[in-house]
């Protein structure tokens, strides 16, 4: 065991007052500078200014589309099963595309229950759900409006935002060669 | 007029004013604390709440706070001692409002054959009264800690009682020195003694005769002890939130919590008043005595107008700069607010500049110099108090918190011996003189 001797404070330091005075002057400098130049504070005035979030941000969910605009989702229920918060509710319907049998008639995500764990994205074998919409303010005035429906999840986001960063996997790879692209 | 009735009216009005002072200081101090801490940490602080688009730089936030605190559910824990639990916040608030009653706000005015006092009671034991009342305030915190039946609040209450009692000793010790120097315990005399220039062993210095220059060591000890007394930052162990959640007021909610919060700020105001009255000349304007103020109201008016004009201009420049740099941020009234306020301040300053020739030719009534003197002295007192309140805020956001053993060591092993030594040396000097 090695005992580390702390350096003994000098007389002036142990009197505190001089060092306290130095510290006070430092904070006063900040106050005066910030009163005179309020624009150089490192602050984002949030609702007016918004910071661009980087592409790999984990944000709110979105549903991916095929080329004809129908959802890639085949209502396999894997995401709803794996979800620890039980916030995904899927109602399956019969699809016109014979290769994939089912499609989600309803796809609701209760954002009040969601814990943003991202398990649904990992569970999905079809690359049909992603959590990359760079929105951090999921807020509303009523609880009903925070249950996001299929149409909202499919459409209300900027497609170009992530396209270059992480392009969707081809439908042939995930859904099989017979499915519509 | 009946002199007894007049005195009664005088005392009632002044008591009302004195009661209002801390209550008016509280929102100002909360604003100062928020904005000051924000600027020290390079943030903006509250600036969103507005009334018709006017934010007054975050001052409106206080109104939102009041509404929020009044509307919240008032929870009383089931296991708490109901009576003491309810008593504690009122106790703290009451004993932080009373001590100001013995502080003179301005010099007494002699008008025809009556005397108007700007002090509620001129006790000849004013200092002792002040101390006895402020030390009663500890009981509120201890009661809150014990009655809410919570371990954290109990520890907070215990800590605060230990801390306040040990620092009260060195505080009192440092003030005894002042008693020895002034040989009086009433504030009127103590403040009156601090007029004129400072005499140092027969030499007249170009400093005002303030208690600080007579007793600098006592002042430093008093200042440190007053931080501990008001539970403010370097010594805010009773509510060390990293250790005790929130300290003695964990279980309090709604307006009862607000009362504790307010009593903390009222305590700051009260201690600042004491500090200013004892060490910084109270209501006395430095270098200018009351008689001089009464004799030359024209010069006072000129100087006041000049100060108001310069301040108005300064505020105008700062606000316009502020508004110009943030002109792209907001819309509507919010965008124009700094410009509007700045123009208003500049306008007030200009009015006072234009009034200067008027002051020179105005035949004022006989009561005017007296009223002006009282106003100037009261303003001087308030300016000094605001500076010391800012010092509380400033220190809080600069220094880290002391550890408990460091706190006790500082109080008992360093400050108390120094205060006693100071007392001894001063007494010897006073006797030899």
Q: Which of residues 29-68 of B touch A (CB under 8 A)?
A: 36, 39-44
> Which among B220, B326, B398 has the least Cβ separation from residue A27?
B398
Q: Is residue A43 part of a domain?
A: no
Q: Is residue A24 part of a domain?
A: no
User: Do residues A155 and A71 touch, judged by C-beta distance below 8 A?
Assistant: no
What CA–CA distance (Å, rounded) separates B33 from B178? 31
A50 against B37, higher pLDDT: B37
> Which among B43, B325, B330 has the least Cβ separation from residue A43?
B43
Residues of A in contact with B42 (CB under 8 A): 30, 34, 41-43
Res. A89: pLDDT tops 90: yes
Q: Is residue A173 part of a domain?
A: no
Contact (CB<8Å) A38/B322: yes
In this complex, is the C-beta atom of A25 within 8 Å of any C-beta atom belonging to chain B? no
Q: Is residue B312 part of a domain?
A: no
Q: Is residue B292 part of a domain?
A: no
Strands B114-116 and B109-111: antiparallel
Q: Which pLDDT does position A162 carry in this prediction? A: 63
In the predicted model, what is the mean pLDDT of residues A138-152? 90
What CA–CA distance (Å, rounded) separates A132 from A118? 10
Question: Looking at the 3D structure of chain B, how many domains does it have?
Answer: 1
Q: Is residue B36 part of a domain?
A: yes
Q: Is residue A131 part of a domain?
A: yes
Contact (CB<8Å) B318/A36: yes
What CA–CA distance (Å, rounded) separates B261 from A25? 28
Q: Is residue A37 part of a domain?
A: no
Question: Looking at the 3D structure of chain A, how many domains does it have?
Answer: 1
Contact (CB<8Å) A27/B326: no
Residues of B in contact with A24 (CB under 8 A): 394-395, 398
What CA–CA distance (Å, rounded) separates A98 from A8? 82
In this complex, is the C-beta atom of A20 within 8 Å of any C-beta atom belonging to chain B? yes
Contact (CB<8Å) A38/B40: no
Q: Which pLDDT does position B213 carry in this prediction? A: 86
B200 against A84, higher pLDDT: A84
CA distance A39 to chain B (A): 6
Q: ipTM, 2 decimals?
A: 0.83
In this prediction, residue A161 has a pLDDT band, given cuts at 50, 70 and 90, of low
Residue in this structure with the two tokens 């009223």, named with its chain if needed: B371
Q: Is residue B323 part of a domain?
A: no
User: Do residues A55 and A162 touch, judged by C-beta distance below 8 A?
Assistant: yes
Q: Which pLDDT does position B382 carry in this prediction? A: 93
Nearest residue of chain B to residue A50 (CA atoms):
B329
In the DSSP assignment, the letter for residue A41 is: S
In the predicted model, what is the mean pLDDT of residues A95-106? 85
Nearest residue of chain B to residue A39 (CA atoms):
B325
Q: Which of residues 35-74 of A touch B (CB under 8 A)?
A: 35-39, 41-43, 45, 48-49
Number of neighbouring beta carbons within 10 Å of residue B101: 19
CA distance A124 to chain B (A): 42
* Among the listed residues A41, A39, A31, the one whose alpha carbon sits nearest the alpha carbon of residue B323: A39
> Which among A24, A30, A42 has the least Cβ separation from residue B39?
A30
Please report, for the domain that includes residue A121, its CATH number. 3.30.70.3270
User: Do residues B58 and B45 touch, judged by C-beta distance below 8 A?
Assistant: yes
In this complex, is the C-beta atom of A24 within 8 Å of any C-beta atom belonging to chain B? yes
Contact (CB<8Å) A45/B329: yes
Which residues span the domain enclosing A130?
Answer: 60-160
Q: What does pLDDT average to in each consecutive run of 10 residues of chain B (433 residues)?
A: 80 90 91 91 86 85 90 87 89 89 85 82 86 86 87 84 86 88 86 81 79 88 89 76 74 87 90 91 84 86 91 91 82 82 91 88 84 90 93 90 84 89 91 84
Q: Which pLDDT does position A115 carry in this prediction? A: 92
Strand partners of residue B51: B54
CA distance B25 to chain A (A): 21
What CA–CA distance (Å, rounded) separates B240 from B160? 11
Q: What is the pTM of this model?
A: 0.84
Which residues span the domain enclosing B231?
Answer: 3-284+363-432
User: Within 13 Å of residue B259, how many CA atoms lie on the same side as its CB?
Assistant: 23
């Amino acid at each position: 065991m090695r005992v580390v001797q702390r350096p003994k404070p000098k007389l002036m330091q142990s009197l505190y007052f001089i060092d306290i005075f130095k510290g006070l002057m430092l904070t006063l400098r900040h106050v005066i500078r910030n009163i005179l130049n309020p624009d150089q504070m490192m602050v984002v005035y949030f609702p007016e200014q918004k910071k661009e979030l980087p592409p790999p941000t984990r944000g709110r969910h979105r549903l991916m589309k095929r080329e004809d605009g129908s959802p890639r989702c085949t209502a396999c229920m894997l995401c709803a099963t794996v979800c620890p918060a039980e916030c995904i509710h899927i109602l399956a319907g019969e699809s016109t595309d014979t290769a994939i049998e089912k499609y989600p008639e309803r796809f609701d995500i209760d954002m009040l229950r969601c814990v943003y764990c991202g398990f649904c994205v990992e569970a999905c074998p079809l690359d049909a759900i992603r959590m990359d919409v760079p929105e951090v303010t999921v807020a509303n005035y009523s609880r009903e409006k925070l249950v996001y429906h299929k149409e909202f999840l499919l459409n209300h986001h900027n497609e170009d935002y992530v396209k270059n960063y992480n392009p969707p996997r081809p439908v042939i790879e995930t859904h099989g060669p017979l499915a519509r692209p | 007029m009946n002199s007894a009735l007049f005195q009664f009216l005088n005392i009632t009005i002044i008591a009302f004013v004195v009661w209002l002072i801390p209550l008016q200081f509280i929102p100002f101090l909360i604003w100062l604390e928020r904005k000051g801490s924000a600027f020290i940490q390079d943030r903006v602080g509250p600036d969103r709440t507005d009334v018709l688009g006017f934010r007054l730089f975050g001052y409106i936030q206080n109104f939102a706070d009041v509404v929020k605190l009044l509307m919240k559910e008032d929870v009383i824990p089931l296991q708490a001692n109901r009576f003491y639990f309810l008593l504690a916040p009122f106790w703290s608030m009451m004993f932080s409002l009373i001590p100001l009653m013995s502080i003179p706000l301005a010099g007494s005015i002699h008008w025809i054959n009556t005397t108007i006092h700007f002090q509620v009671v001129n006790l000849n034991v004013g200092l002792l009264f002040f101390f006895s009342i402020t030390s009663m305030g500890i009981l509120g915190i201890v009661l809150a800690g014990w009655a809410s039946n919570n371990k954290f609040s109990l520890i907070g209450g215990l800590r605060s009682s230990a801390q306040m009692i040990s620092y009260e000793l060195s505080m009192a010790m440092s003030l005894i020195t002042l008693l020895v120097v002034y040989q009086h315990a009433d504030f009127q005399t103590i403040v009156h003694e601090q007029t004129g220039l400072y005499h140092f062993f027969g030499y007249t210095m170009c400093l005002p005769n303030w208690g600080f220059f007579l007793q600098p060591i006592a002042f430093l000890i008093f200042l440190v002890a007053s931080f501990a007394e008001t539970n403010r930052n370097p010594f805010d162990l009773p509510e060390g939130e990293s250790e005790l959640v929130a300290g003695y007021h964990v279980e309090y909610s709604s307006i009862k919590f607000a009362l504790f919060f307010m009593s903390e700020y009222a305590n700051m105001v009260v201690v600042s008043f004491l500090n200013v009255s004892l060490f910084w000349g109270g209501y006395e304007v430095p270098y200018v005595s009351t008689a001089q103020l009464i004799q030359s109201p024209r010069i006072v008016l000129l100087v006041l107008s000049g100060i108001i004009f310069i301040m108005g201009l300064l505020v105008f420049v700062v606000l316009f700069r502020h508004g110009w740099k943030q002109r792209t941020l907001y819309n509507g009234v919010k965008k124009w607010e700094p410009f509007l306020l700045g123009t208003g301040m500049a306008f007030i300053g200009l009015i006072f500049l234009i009034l200067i020739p008027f002051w020179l030719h105005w035949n004022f009534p006989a009561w005017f110099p007296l009223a002006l003197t009282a106003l100037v002295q009261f303003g001087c007192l308030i300016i000094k108090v605001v500076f010391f309140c800012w010092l509380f805020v400033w220190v809080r956001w600069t220094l880290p918190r002391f550890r408990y053993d460091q706190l006790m060591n500082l109080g008992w092993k360093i400050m108390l011996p120094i205060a006693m030594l100071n007392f001894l040396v001063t007494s010897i000097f006073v006797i030899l003189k």
